[in-house]
Structure 1
Amino acid sequence: MCADLWSFALSTYARAGAEDACLRLQEQGADVCLLLCGLWLEQRGVALEPGRVQALRTIAEPWQADVVQPLRRVRKQWRCMAQQDVELGSLREQVKALELEAERQLLLRLEALAQRWPAGEHATDQAWLEALATEAAHFDHDALHQLRVAATGT
């Protein structure tokens, strides 16, 4: 298992099925950074507590709304136009890189908070993933399962 959240997120996302699951859950309103953080916490054996879930959401929700999502909207808005315009395509790639950096910064913030919580408190079969998923994402059991399988590398 990766010690830091960013490395864990990259490793998990690169595994078969993870990208598809993340994109499906994101389309349903889930915060993929929160989900990856939840899987990381599960693997570290951090106890699931409502106050901890809320503390993570308190960090993630404004960052997603004010930083990540505006960048994502611009990147998506430019998709078609960038196929016809090389310069815009280059700008779109820069926005994409900023979006990824914004997600990395969010993961660093989540990790800084979660590092204060003792690891090894519970077995790894907790429900952090479900606790951090949006209500709509709860109905996509396949995507949640696919993401969990990718995180465990099985």
Structure 2
Amino acid sequence: MARTETIELTNMCLLRNGEQVLVENRRKKEWPGITFPGGHVESGESFHQAMIREFFEETGLTLLDPKLCGIKQFFVNETRYIVLLYRATKFSGDLRSSSEGEIFWLPERDLLKQDLAKTFAEMYKVFADDTLSEIYQVQDNINLY
């Protein structure tokens, strides 16, 4: 059995501003719906730097205090995707949408009532619950740890 595999590293951040969270209505056809902003980690980039860069590219905001709060793992063909999940409460800059999707503030209590991206409701549990740190998905089987 091989001890190495192909891995794609990505990230996502829940930004809270009082009772509101920043969400993105993604336009990408492979994962449409409401989610938190995020993207890919580039070669040679730290996870922390990647989160700040991706968040800025998609929202116009600079995260000042992103903290790793969990991970999600899933598979597409022979590639394992690892999504590093962050939370933040401090930011600077001016909000703007990007080609990725519309960005807007939403009361956190209304989040789960939205048209969410597939599996995002399960991911949100890891963002919101300090006793959870991982979501592991193989096809439609989802486990929270």
TM-score, length-scaled by structure 2: 0.31
Larger Rg computed on CA atoms: 1
- With a CA cutoff of 8 Å and minimum separation of 6, indicate the structure with the bigger relative contact order: 1
Q: Which has the higher helix share?
A: 1
TM-score, length-scaled by structure 1: 0.29
